Amino acid sequence: MNDAALKLSNVKRSFRQGRVELEVLRGVDLAIRPGEIVALVGPSGTGKSTLLQISGLLEKPTSGEVLIAGTSAGTLSDDKRTALRRLHLGFVYQYHHLLPEFSALENVVLPQMIAGTGKGEAAKRATRLLEGMGLADRIKHRPAELSGGEQQRVAICRALANSPRLLLADEPTGNLDPHTSDHVFAAFLRLVREEGLAALIATHNPDLAARMDRTVSLSEGRLRESVPAE
């Protein structure tokens, strides 16, 4: 699949604990096309976060190949991996990690300016993203003045600010109550689809997983396609 935003081929990851080698990933294969939203499920401790870290070039696999938008990351220098990550990847975590001294708008503008976008253009895109997440009247508020759901929506906009090819999310609504989680996730999916991104989203919530295009399950170090129940 040459047009894949993310392609993992026989990815393995092991850690040494004393004399014991712990195999977390035992040969993972995965391809995600642009515009496709994939749920990553599995019990706690099975390696979902490790898989996301490797997919996001934040951690190197023990062996195997990681391709981002057709570029193999395995032989790249740290600087080139960082550049590839900045150009093509967006991240959403369970906790928002917003900069507290800046407004919602500024939190979405800053990563664009770091990437070289002019302030005016960055502000226009930030405003459009925040409005798309229902935050039109909150863009000048700082994180402490926002609810938990609003903070996470700002974090989602920040992840999308530089128009990444691939979005990686680790329990993006896991810290929210069920009602807020449902509302935020609906806005999240709508915005991701409008942007035409590929996305890999780890979740423990089967209802959220069912709203994505397909589901892959990580168990005993291997990834399997989940078949929906009839």
Asked if pLDDT for residue 2 goes beyond 80, the answer is no
At 227 the pLDDT is 58
Is 70 inside a domain boundary?
yes
Is 137 inside a domain boundary?
no
**Does the global pTM surpass 0.85?**
yes
Into how many domains does the chain fold? 1
At 228 the pLDDT is 54
Is 111 inside a domain boundary?
no
Note the Cα 168 to chain centre separation in Å.
2
Asked if pLDDT for residue 230 goes beyond 70, the answer is no
Is 123 inside a domain boundary?
no
Q: Which of residues 228 and 61 earns the better pLDDT score?
A: 61
d(CA 4, CA 68): 8
At 94 the pLDDT is 75
Is 126 inside a domain boundary?
no
Is 86 inside a domain boundary?
yes
| CATH code for the domain in which residue 34 is found | 3.40.50.300
Is 38 inside a domain boundary?
yes
At 133 the pLDDT is 87
Q: What is the mean pLDDT of residues 6-17?
A: 91
**Residue 38, domain extent:** 6-99+166-225
CA angle 35, 223, 29 (to 5 degrees): 65
The helix (H) or strand (E) run that includes residue 59 is none
Token readout for 167 is: 């979005």
